[in-house]
């Protein structure tokens, strides 16, 4: 009986090892994901989902780095020994930092790092830019940011890296304003023709103003929490993009509101 139990236990270890059942097979194509869905698995405890990264034995475990020619930044000594891109900064930590802060950790010049990131993204990057913003606006992944930093720190000319496409979010200022103006004209005409009451006409736009205010305001607060405190709240959409879009709509409807109450606001100005 004991032999049978030992055989069963050994079989369990062989067929079900304590490791990820699969590496680098994220169905959503995520890279260095920090857990934004129910499939999160982290058997190596590095804060990154196993499905979004290669197996440990397949990674570049170490890169020899030498001191950068510039002085140490913010009191942090430049890298002068073998370092691991995965161990130095996790993907989660990097998202809460700015370009200059990451440059300080790797002991490299912040401007040179910003320029290198700009070349990779085909865009202008400043040393004060937050990595979360670069990810939201340009699709910069933490693994690529770390590889570029290590390349600069090592002084080794890295193999050409395929640049990401310039995925700048295009905000729909004119289309949103145009659609809202047309809708406002429509409800205004309907109220003039007594199809709807004036009260209903105004109620519609008051509700829309409240909804756009809540959307823009709440998303803005979530962005501040994420950037200032490093607390990532997983949402199935780009918070920055919809924060701006809702803000555009709120601004347009606010103009309608000001027009309604123009005598009141004009009276406030005249009393000053």
Q: Tens digit of pLDDT per residue, the chain (272 long)?
A: 444 344 344 344 333 343 334 566 666 667 777 765 656 677 776 777 776 777 765 554 433 333 333 333 333 344 444 445 445 777 778 878 889 999 898 889 999 999 989 888 888 888 888 888 887 777 788 888 888 888 888 876 444 445 544 445 678 999 999 999 999 999 999 999 999 999 999 999 999 999 999 999 999 998 888 777 767 677 778 888 899 999 999 999 999 999 998 888 888 887 76
pTM score, whole prediction: 0.49
**Distance set, CA 268 to CA 154, 252, 255 (Å):** 63, 22, 17
**Residue 162: predicted pLDDT:** 52
Q: Which of left, alpha, beta for 219 (phi over 0: left; psi -120 to 50: alpha)?
A: alpha
With b meaning 16 or more CB within 10 Å and e meaning fewer, what string describes 122-160? ebebebebbbbebbbbbebbbbbbbbbbbbbbbeeeeee
DSSP 8-state code for residue 1: -
Count of C-beta atoms within a 10 Å radius of residue 78: 19
CA pseudo-torsion sign 234, 235, 239, 241:
positive
The three-state DSSP-derived secondary structure of 5-41 is HHHHHHHHHHHCCCCCCCCCCCCCCCCCCCCCCCCCC
pLDDT at res. 175: 95
The residue among 203, 34, 210 whose CA lies nearest residue 132 is: 34
Q: Of 63, 50, 46, which is closest to residue 149 (Cα–Cα)?
A: 63
Close Cβ partners of 113 (under 8 Å, ≥ 6 residues apart) = 99, 100, 102, 103, 106, 127, 148, 149, 152
């Amino acid at each position: 009986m004991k032999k049978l139990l030992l055989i069963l236990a050994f079989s369990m270890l062989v067929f079900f090892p304590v490791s990820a059942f699969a590496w680098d097979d994220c169905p959503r194509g995520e890279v260095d994901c920090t857990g934004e869905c129910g499939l999160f698995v982290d058997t190596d405890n590095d804060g990154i989902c196993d499905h979004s990264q290669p197996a440990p034995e397949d990674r570049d475990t170490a890169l020899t780095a030498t001191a950068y020619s510039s002085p140490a930044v913010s009191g942090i000594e430049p890298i002068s020994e073998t370092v691991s891109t995965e161990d130095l900064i996790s993907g989660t930590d990097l998202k809460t930092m700015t370009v200059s802060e990451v440059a300080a950790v790797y002991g490299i010049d912040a401007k040179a790092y910003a320029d290198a990131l700009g070349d990779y993204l085909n865009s202008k990057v400043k040393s004060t830019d937050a990595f979360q913003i670069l990810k939201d606006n340009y699709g910069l992944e933490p693994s690529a940011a770390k590889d570029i930093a290590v390349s600069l720190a090592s002084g080794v000319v890295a193999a050409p890296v395929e640049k990401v496409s310039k995925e700048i979010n295009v905000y729909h200022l004119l289309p949103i304003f145009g659609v809202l103006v047309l809708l406002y004209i429509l409800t205004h005409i309907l109220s003039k023709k007594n199809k709807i009451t004036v009260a209903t006409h105004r109620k519609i736009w008051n509700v829309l103003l409240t909804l756009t205010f809540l959307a823009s305001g709440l998303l803005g607060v979530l962005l501040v929490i994420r950037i200032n405190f490093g607390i990532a709240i997983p949402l199935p959409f780009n918070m920055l993009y919809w924060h701006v879009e809702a803000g555009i709509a709120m601004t347009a409807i606010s103009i309608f509101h000001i027009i309604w109450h123009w005598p009141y606001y004009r009276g406030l100005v005249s009393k000053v």
